[in-house]
Amino acid sequence: MRLTRRYRFAASHRLHAPSLSEEANRELYGKCNNPYGHGHDFILEVRVRGRVDARTGLVVDQGALDALVRRSVLDSFHMKDLNTQVEAFAREVPTSENVAKEARRRLSGAWRETFGENGAELDAVRILETSKNEFEA
């Protein structure tokens, strides 16, 4: 069984790689290289895979999943400038690919402490940046 939960968060970012020249950054990232950044209303999808628990009829406790996502990702990303307010993006460009990768890393790190040995696994993390751009880690 698979369960997917969707969450929204608003954040800003500037796509700019310090290892590239100003010109190369403008060429590569276009309007997303705006020095003042730009914002998105991101959708975060978290997909869980596992057996349905015979006692509860659930793959996972959705309240526990919501709490995990909130404390692991949303509290750190929502209403933040990803470049300056999220430590992970001090070292890498906060592309949506990297946002998905970081969200997955954070959720994976806290997964066992929340869900223990119930058998449910974190299957995928998706970031929907725009109606055209989706990224899965």
Contact 6, 43 (CB under 8 A): yes
Alpha helix positions (H), 70-95: 75-77, 82-85
DSSP, residue by residue, 4-68: EEEEEEEEEE----TTS-HHHHHHHHGGGG-TT-EEEEEEEEEEEE-PPPTTTS-SS-HHHHHHH
pTM score: 0.94
Q: Does the structure show a pLDDT above 80 at 116?
A: no
Bridge partners of residue 38, in order along the sequence: 13
- Calculate mean pLDDT across residues 17-24: 96
Q: Residue 56: which CATH number?
A: 3.30.479.10
Query: What integer pLDDT is reported at residue 67 of this predicted model?
Result: 97
pLDDT classification of 76: cutoffs 50, 70, 90:
very high
Q: How large a percentage of the chain has pLDDT more than 70? A: 99
Count up the domains in the chain and report the number: 1
d(CA 129, CA 81): 15
Range of the domain at 121: 2-136
pLDDT classification of 74: cutoffs 50, 70, 90:
very high
Average pLDDT, the chain: 95
Dihedral sign for Cα 130, 4, 80, 90, please: negative
The neighbour count for residue 94, using CB atoms within 10 Å, is 25
Q: 117 vs 56, which has greater pLDDT? A: 56
d(CA 64, CA 115): 8
Backbone angles phi, psi at 11, to 5 degrees: -155, 160
pLDDT classification of 82: cutoffs 50, 70, 90:
very high
Q: Does the structure show a pLDDT above 90 at 44?
A: yes
